[in-house]
A and B are shown apart, each in its own frame.
Chain A
């Protein structure tokens, strides 16, 4: 019986000890640091003059003998994703469209070797931040393409044009 009494007292006292003369509360503090991102067109993609019945290829990462690779410069301090709206063909008024296959690649300079392999512009992989410390770095996208000889035969002469629209998004 004595043990039972002591136990009862212990239980009765415990809640009183919890009723201390102080109370506390905690909340979160938060901030989202925005990424720095700037994209600019360095050079347009230009296949140059193509003789009827001839093809033209501009390969990202390879300095072309003729024509000009398209180049975009991206200044960023986080990983970026790149989505591209790619035309299936170049156009000139009412003339039949001129099919083109585009290819893209990341590089550390406006010209020269790629970082990784060239890839379809419409399905580019993300470009990671190599510094990963908030410092801004520069990545280039070189844009090339391929026009088949078969598509220049019996073609209405003139200048065919089209636009690739690059959307670059900071990922963090």
Chain B
């Protein structure tokens, strides 16, 4: 009976030690990192045959994300849709250029254009606080584009690559 109790106590002790190791260490190594979608990319009403440009500096139509992250080095990757999908099988081609991305660190008044077609690296310092990612683009409807509402999704992925 004693042996059973002793054995049980020992196992629990090992378990707690392991718990402390796993729970205690990682928070120091894992940087805080969150992405919050703020605004959709809105081309609005578009006439057939007339390209519609939304610059990343347009505060009402650009896509916007807030980034909350600790000090560190990060890589931003954007998944860009090739087309907007509309009624039936109709699509509107999209194009993105080398300055259709805009990265902002408000506390530093820092605005960096970037090419959303390729990964973008950035660094956040201790007191930078939040950052923001803005995306523009161009919708290129055909002259015989079928009227209607068109939609796609646009995603960003931010990865911590170092402290």
Using a CB–CB cutoff of 8 Å, the interface residues on chain A facing chain B are 1-2, 5, 8-9, 12-13, 16, 19, 21-36, 77-78, 132-136, 170, 172
Q: Given A5-B14, A134-B90, decide whether A28 and B147 contact each other with a Cβ distance below 8 A.
A: no
Interface contact B145-A134, CB-CB below 8 Å: yes
Residue of B nearest to A21 (CB): B160
* Max chain B Cβ within 10 angstroms of own Cβ: one of A22, A25, A170, A172: A25
For the complex, count residues of B whose C-beta is within 8 A of A.
63
From B19, B37, B38, B141, give the contact of A33 (CB < 8 A).
B141
Interface residues, chain B, with chain A CB atoms under 8 Å away? 7-8, 11-12, 14-15, 18-19, 22-23, 26, 30-31, 33-48, 52, 63-65, 67, 81, 84, 86-88, 90, 92, 94, 137, 139, 141-142, 144-160
Residues of A within 8 A of B151 (CB): 28-30
- A-B interface pairs (CB < 8 A), number: 160
Contact A1 B145, beta carbon cutoff 8 Å: no
A33 CA / B148 CA spacing, docked (Å): 5
Given contacts A22-B33, A26-B153, 8 further A-B contacts (CB under 8 A): A9-B15, A16-B22, A28-B40, A30-B42, A31-B52, A32-B150, A33-B47, A33-B92
